[in-house]
């Protein structure tokens, strides 16, 4: 299999951002206000403006749509988010500039919340602060009476709020961080939606496949994978464990993270040690070395062994390159363990919630 950098290097032209119901001067003014001027290309089409960075600009700053070094040119997180979207091979579509601004704020919220999140990792346990949450078998963790969603999400994920780390899987942790980012935006710009989110979470948790369906867009595909170096801050990202034996250990099928910008991915268990793309690939590679069997014959994974293996590998440049050659490939399809690596072909981003363009349809429980 080709390295994904090679396999997707043809996808160098940006599809960027499409904005409807907006005139050219207002659109240029919006991006200029965020420090985006040089290399910005805005084309008028019937009913919409197509905004992207020029090919010449991308050759210098984002070759092959690689955004992992975008922060070196950005003055702040909002600018990094917008630049990443403007070089995207996937077209992000918005009904108006207000909806675009809202989407950027949501992404910024998610990044800032992910950076603050610190959790205890237990694959077979779950715990939340009892003053905010209670567990019901069918409904999952729901809000206690007279508590507020934003405060409850912060209490569960940011230890400064309670002085304690709570047990999460990586998948559920990303759900809480994304929901928090959306709720924070709704509190300022769509209070009726926040009230709906509050009511739903008092009755039933939106989780797993339903969470994906309600709150997220998935873009890219195995047939047309996104470039290996393309990420927008605030994206949820899946890293697959391509080793069949260790992927049978509960919780180690792969790793769900948030891309937090600056070339880094969230590490909820050691938040002061976020992952680079390379370090995440190397960690997942060494999961195979940590597999153990307990007295009951059940598989578990010794993180101390994994950590020691990672440390040893990082001292050997040739070993690092060999592992990255294997791991930095697009993953195989589900249930296939062949020549694929740990990189996913897709990303997930929040749906829009600005009142004039909201895409959210909340379930009724």
Per-residue confidence of the chain (365 residues) as pLDDT tens digits?
A: 334 333 343 445 799 999 999 999 999 999 999 999 999 999 999 999 999 999 999 999 999 999 999 999 999 999 999 999 999 999 999 999 999 999 999 999 999 999 999 999 765 668 899 999 999 999 999 999 999 999 999 999 999 999 999 999 899 999 999 999 999 999 999 999 999 999 999 999 999 999 999 999 999 999 999 999 999 999 999 999 999 999 999 889 999 999 999 999 999 999 999 999 999 999 999 999 999 999 999 999 999 999 999 999 999 999 999 999 999 999 999 999 999 999 999 999 999 999 999 999 999 98
Point out the domain boundary residue: 75, 94, 113: 94
CB contact at 8 A, 357 and 96:
yes
Does residue 250 share a domain with residue 184?
no
Residue 289 lies in a domain: yes
Cα pseudo-dihedral 106, 17, 267, 264, rounded to 10: -130
Does residue 166 share a domain with residue 88?
no
Range of the domain at 305: 236-345
Does residue 325 share a domain with residue 248?
yes
Round to whole Å and give the CA distance between 157 and 68. Answer: 26
Does residue 36 share a domain with residue 10?
yes
Does residue 213 share a domain with residue 307?
no
Residue 365 lies in a domain: no
Does residue 37 share a domain with residue 16?
yes
> Is residue 20 classed as helix, strand or coil in its secondary structure?
strand
Residue 267 lies in a domain: yes
360: Cβ–Cβ under 8 A, 6 or more apart, which residues? 193, 214, 215, 351, 352, 353
Round to whole Å and give the CA distance between 205 and 195. Answer: 15
357: Cβ–Cβ under 8 A, 6 or more apart, which residues? 94, 95, 96, 98, 99, 102
Residue 16 lies in a domain: yes
CB contact at 8 A, 329 and 239:
no
- Confidence at residue 12, expressed as pLDDT on a 0 to 100 scale: 59
Round to whole Å and give the CA distance between 365 and 332. Answer: 36
- Confidence at residue 333, expressed as pLDDT on a 0 to 100 scale: 94
Q: Which of 304, 195, 299, 286 is nearest to 241 (CA)?
A: 286
Residue 230 lies in a domain: no
- Token pair 């710009």 in the structure block, residue: 189
Alpha-helical runs (H) found in the chain: 4-7, 24-33, 55-61, 77-86, 97-116, 149-157, 170-189, 191-203, 208-215, 244-247, 277-285, 303-314, 317-327
Does residue 215 share a domain with residue 124?
yes
- Confidence at residue 3, expressed as pLDDT on a 0 to 100 scale: 40
Residue 74 lies in a domain: yes
Point out the domain boundary residue: 219, 247, 279: 219
- Token pair 């801050």 in the structure block, residue: 233
Residue 229 lies in a domain: no
Does residue 215 share a domain with residue 111?
yes
Does residue 113 share a domain with residue 139?
yes
- Confidence at residue 126, expressed as pLDDT on a 0 to 100 scale: 81
- Confidence at residue 6, expressed as pLDDT on a 0 to 100 scale: 36
Domain tally for the chain?
3
CB contact at 8 A, 152 and 234:
no
Does residue 112 share a domain with residue 72?
no
Does residue 137 share a domain with residue 76?
no
Residue 99 lies in a domain: no
Does residue 302 share a domain with residue 339?
yes
């Amino acid at each position: 299999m080709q390295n994904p950098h090679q396999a997707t290097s043809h996808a160098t032209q940006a599809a960027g951002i499409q904005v409807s119901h907006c005139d050219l001067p207002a659109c240029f003014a919006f991006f200029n206000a965020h420090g985006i001027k040089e290399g910005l290309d805005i084309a008028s089409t019937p009913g919409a403006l197509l905004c992207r960075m020029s090919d010449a600009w991308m050759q210098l700053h984002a070759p092959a749509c690689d955004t992992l070094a975008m922060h070196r040119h950005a003055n702040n997180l909002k600018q990094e988010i917008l630049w990443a979207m403007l070089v995207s091979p996937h077209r992000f579509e918005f009904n108006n500039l207000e909806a675009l601004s809202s989407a950027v704020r949501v992404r910024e919220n998610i990044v800032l919340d992910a950076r603050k999140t610190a959790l205890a990792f237990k694959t077979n346990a779950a715990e939340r602060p009892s003053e905010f949450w209670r567990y019901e078998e069918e409904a999952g963790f729901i809000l206690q009476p007279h508590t507020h969603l934003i405060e409850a999400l912060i209490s569960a994920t940011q230890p400064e709020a309670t002085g304690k780390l709570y047990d999460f899987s990586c998948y559920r942790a990303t759900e809480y961080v994304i929901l928090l980012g959306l709720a924070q935006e709704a509190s300022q710009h769509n209070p009726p939606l926040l009230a709906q989110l509050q009511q739903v979470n008092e009755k039933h948790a939106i989780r797993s496949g339903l969470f994906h369906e309600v709150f997220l867009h998935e873009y890219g595909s195995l047939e047309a994978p996104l470039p290996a170096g393309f990420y927008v801050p605030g994206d949820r990202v899946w890293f697959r464990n391509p080793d069949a034996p260790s992927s049978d250990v509960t919780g180690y099928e792969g790793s769900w993270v948030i891309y937090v910008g600056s070339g880094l991915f969230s590490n909820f268990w050691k938040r002061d040690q976020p992952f680079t793309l390379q370090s995440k690939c190397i960690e997942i590679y060494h999961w195979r070395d940590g597999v153990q069997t307990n007295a009951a014959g059940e598989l578990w994974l010794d993180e101390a062994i994994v950590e020691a293996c990672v440390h040893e590998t990082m001292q050997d440049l040739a070993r690092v390159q060999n592992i990255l050659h294997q791991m930095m490939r697009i993953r195989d399809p589900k249930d296939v363990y062949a020549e694929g690596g740990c990189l996913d072909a897709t990303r997930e981003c929040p749906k829009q919630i600005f009142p004039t363009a909201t895409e959210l349809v909340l379930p009724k429980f």
